[in-house]
């Protein structure tokens, strides 16, 4: 295995999965005081997929993974590493190992990675390092979230935004390195802008000894601050990643942003002077699926024949943490 030191990285397959249950804006307006016009004009979202009580993060992640493995023509037992980027695991101890077992990827080590809506990009860079150093040759990277579990369905500021889904890619050692450049960033001083926070209550044990026990609160977000952050920081990080790749925006075939809000997608593309026909968007049908949004959209465009082998893509994730990052890569071997 270690003879692959200095190997390049290629993205050789993609897959995605979404729950069958769809809730459109008209249906949502029966839950909270809102309207299709209000949601569509402010976010670009028309509907979102929601996991049923029978569907789990693991089932969605496994379905997406099987599709990605099939496209890459890789058997599960050939996978060396599984990284599951998620903020909503079925088990706080991690869900990647459950996916490993479901797939029958008996030779793979598996772990979760948490970086919210930036998770897939952070995972892409992390997975690539294992391949580049020759430690592993075939990696399955999954981005999946079931945010409906943690949405306050009485809060119209947030419940209109989020949906559930999963996407996956297969990364393989390759003679030519298809990961051309990347840049990752974090700013914990803005952590309060977007939270899914633990809320503990003191509990006395013995004498003066006390601990905190509780649960997680619903998602809270300062929408205006997140918008300002994304519109400023995302173009910067993409330009830095392009610089590392010795490329410019004119060299891009596709701009693949985290599907958070159509206004953000439009504003970032405008700042980068990327024409709208090069901007990947399926936000209208899925909403914000956090770590799943980039691979889910990627898979849709690949299977529709829009993204072609050899084309150059700038992918950028941004969100809670606050975290953001960009990766420039070419699709296919």
Catalytic residues: 117, 258, 288
Closest CA to 40 of 231, 287, 220, 222: 287
| Count of other CB atoms within 10 angstroms of residue 54 | 7
> b vs e for 162-183, b when ≥16 Cβ sit within 10 Å of the residue's Cβ?
bbbbbbbbbbbbbeebbbbbbb
Do you find a cis peptide bond into 322, omega within 30 degrees of 0? yes
User: Do 289 and 88 contact (CB within 8 A), yes or no?
Assistant: no
Closest CA to 11 of 182, 183, 169: 169
For 15-72, give the DSSP string.
EEE--SEEEEHHHHTTTSS--HHHHHHHH---EEEE--TT--HHHHHHHHHHHHHHHH
């Amino acid at each position: 295995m270690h003879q692959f030191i200095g190997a390049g990285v290629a993205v050789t397959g993609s897959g995605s999965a979404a729950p069958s249950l769809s809730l459109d804006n008209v249906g949502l307006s029966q839950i909270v005081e809102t309207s299709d016009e209000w949601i569509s004009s402010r976010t670009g979202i028309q509907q979102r997929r929601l996991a049923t009580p029978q569907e789990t993060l693991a089932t969605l992640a496994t379905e997406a993974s099987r599709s990605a493995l099939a496209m890459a023509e890789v058997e599960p037992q050939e996978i060396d590493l599984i990284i599951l980027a998620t903020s909503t695991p079925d088990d706080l101890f991690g869900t990647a190992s459950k996916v490993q077992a479901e797939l029958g990827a008996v030779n793979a080590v598996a772990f979760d990675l948490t970086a919210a809506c930036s998770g897939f990009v952070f995972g892409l860079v992390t997975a690539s390092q294992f391949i580049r150093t020759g430690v592993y040759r075939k990696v399955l990277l999954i981005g999946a979230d079931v945010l409906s579990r943690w949405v306050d369905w009485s809060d119209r500021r947030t419940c209109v935004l989020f949906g559930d889904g999963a996407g996956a890619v297969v990364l393989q050692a390759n003679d030519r390195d298809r990961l051309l450049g990347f840049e990752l960033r974090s700013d914990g001083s803005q952590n309060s802008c977007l939270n899914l926070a633990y809320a503990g209550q003191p509990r006395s044990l013995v004498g003066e000894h006390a601990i905190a026990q509780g649960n997680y609160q619903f998602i809270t977000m300062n929408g205006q601050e997140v918008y300002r952050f994304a519109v400023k920081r995302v173009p910067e990080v993409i330009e830095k990643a392009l610089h590392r790749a010795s490329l410019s925006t004119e060299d891009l075939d596709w701009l693949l942003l985290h599907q958070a809000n159509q206004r953000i997608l439009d504003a970032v593309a405008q700042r980068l002077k990327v024409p709208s026909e090069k901007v990947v968007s399926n936000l209208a049908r899925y909403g914000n699926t956090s770590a799943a949004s980039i691979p889910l959209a990627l898979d849709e465009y690949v299977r529709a024949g829009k993204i072609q082998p050899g084309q150059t893509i700038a992918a950028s994730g941004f969100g809670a943490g606050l975290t953001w990052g960009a990766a420039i890569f070419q699709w296919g071997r």
